[in-house]
Amino acid sequence: MKDFSKFEAKLNLKFKNRDFLIQAFCHRSYLNENPDFPLGHNERLEFLGDAVLELVITEYLYQKYPQKPEGDLTNWRAALVNAKMLSKIAKRLGFNPFLLLSRGEAKETGKARQYILADTFETLIGALYLDQGYSKCKEFIKKYLIKELPEIIEKGLFKDAKSHFQEEAQERVGITPTYEVLKEWGPDHAKNFTIGVFLEKELVAKGEGSSKQEAEEAAAKKAIETKRW
């Protein structure tokens, strides 16, 4: 078994129940090769951690930027909690050596590993929440993740949702998104459009705008939120 006390020391964490921490790093594949492992895999913790993470980020943005509209806050939140960002932070914090993976998964170092790292960041938040509550999660997320926000805003890393959604859709489900005008109204000089973004026949999200391009971008942003990509 890996020495998780080293992980705790590195991040200045002290779990009351270290089983929560160990389970946070246990990928489903690990149990296939280690059926006697006393703890379950981490997927339920991911479900919990995802919700806690989203609430912490949402609360921070709401309080920190009282003049900003919902659209901006949504885009900034999406840029903070997407897989690319979470995996980058997890890698930086030294998650890799502690992952409990099958031998096959352990050899995979590309996109699949990126998603595992991102998921594990969320499972760690779930474990921390169960062990020490909301305030500790808030402190951890602010210390390691929210500090990325100024760069996101400064460099416009939250923009161009269409490209982002297409890249994620092709990588995750092997489908290129398509866009379809669902509704248009108004005079020729002031048209409005509702456009849907589809993954094959699945309508993922709708967006509105005064041009097709604007409506497509809005739909892609909502699709990223819907799919949590």
E strand or H helix at 32, and its extent?
Answer: helix 28-33
Give the integer Cα–Cα distance in Å for 25 and 96: 9
Instruction: Give the torsion sign (CA, 61, 62, 64, 68).
Output: positive
Residue 166's Cβ-side half-sphere holds a number of Cα atoms within 13 Å equal to 10
Choosing from 46, 105, 119, 122, the catalytic residue is: 122
**Active site annotation includes 50:** yes
Long-range contacts for 66-71 (Cβ within 8 Å, ≥24 apart)? 71/221
- Is residue 54 part of the annotated active site? The answer reads no
Bridge partners (DSSP) of residue 1 are none
Which positions are annotated as active-site residues?
50, 122
